[in-house]
Structure 1
Amino acid sequence: MPALSADVLESMREPGTSRLSPSRLAELLEMQQQELAALAGVHRNTLRMHSESPRLQAMLRDLVRLLSAATAIQSDWQRLVFFIKNEPVAAFRHKTLLQVVQEGRTDDAIAYLESVASGFAG
C-alpha cells in the first residue's frame, strides 16, 4: 500500500511555514486541542501561541511518522485513525499506538507496524 499521500502531508502543514500545524493535525486525528497538547506534554495554549515549540513539533513529526507507517497496513484514513487511537496492542501491554508514542516509543510503534505489514505478529 502507498505511504502517506503528499496531499495528506501537505494538509498538515501550517500555511506559509515548514512547520506542522497542530490544529490541522488535531482535526485530521479527530482530537480536541487539549488532547493533542496532553499527548505532546505541552500546555494547550502552546498549540495556538507557540506552534513552533521544538517539543510540540517533535511530537507532531512522530505522529506523522506513525501515520505514515500505519498506511502500510490500513489505507482507509478513518480506519487508520481509529486503529492508532483505540486498538489495544498486545505487544505493548494492550496500550494503543498513540499511548506508545506518548511514552516516547515511536520507533517501537513503527517497528510493530512494519512487522504487521510484513506478515509477522508483534
Structure 2
Amino acid sequence: MTPTARPVTTALRQGGEALLFLSPDTVGTSCGLSAAELALLAGLARDTADDEPWHPRLQALLRDLVELFSLLRTARPHEAGSAFWAAHRAVRRLDGRTLVEAVADGDWDAVHACLQAAPAPR
C-alpha cells in the first residue's frame, strides 16, 4: 500500500478570495516536527501555526525548509529520511545546530558548506 500524497499548500477562504499558503502540518510531518515546533523556530508563539498558519514569518520559514528539503533531495537522492535527519541531528560544523535550526537562523552559507562537505552516501 502506497501512502497518499498530502498537498504542501492549503487554501483558505477569506473575504471571498482564496489564499494559498504552505501547510505547517504537512511540512512538519515531512521532517518530524510539530506545527507548534515550527512556529517556535520562526520566533512565534506555539499556537500561531494553528491560529494563523499564513503568518509571514512562519511562511518564510516553511519556504526555506521546502528549499532545504529540495537541496537535500538533490544532494542525497538515494538517502531516505534526510528531512527527518535535517531536523533532528546536530551537526558539528553548524556549532551543534541541526540543518533546520541553521536555516531558521538564516545561516544559508553554513548550510550549503555543510551539504557540500558531507561525504556522499555509499
TM-score tier by shorter-chain length is: 0.7 to 0.9
CA RMSD of aligned residues (A): 2.8
Gaps of 5+ in 2: 12-17
Q: Give CA-to-partner distance per residue, 1:6-58, whole Å, 9 cap, x none.
A: xx7x7211146431111211122222222111111111222122122111110
- Residue matched to 1:33: 35
- Residue matched to 1:56: 58
Provide the C-alpha distance between the structure 2 equivalents of 1:86 and 1:108, rounded to a whole number of angstroms.
Answer: 17
Quick check: which has more Rg, 1 or 2? 2
Q: Which has the higher contact order (CA 8 A, sep 6+)?
A: 1
- Residue matched to 1:12: 8
Q: With structure 1 as the length reference, what TM-score do the two structures score?
A: 0.72
- Residue matched to 2:75: 73
Provide the C-alpha distance between the structure 2 equivalents of 1:18 and 1:107, rounded to a whole number of angstroms.
Answer: 29
Count of matched residue positions in the alignment of Structure 1 and Structure 2: 111
Q: With structure 2 as the length reference, what TM-score do the two structures score?
A: 0.72
Gaps of 5+ in 1: 1-7
Q: Give CA-to-partner distance per residue, 1:59-82, whole Å, 9 cap, x none.
A: 111111111111123235752123
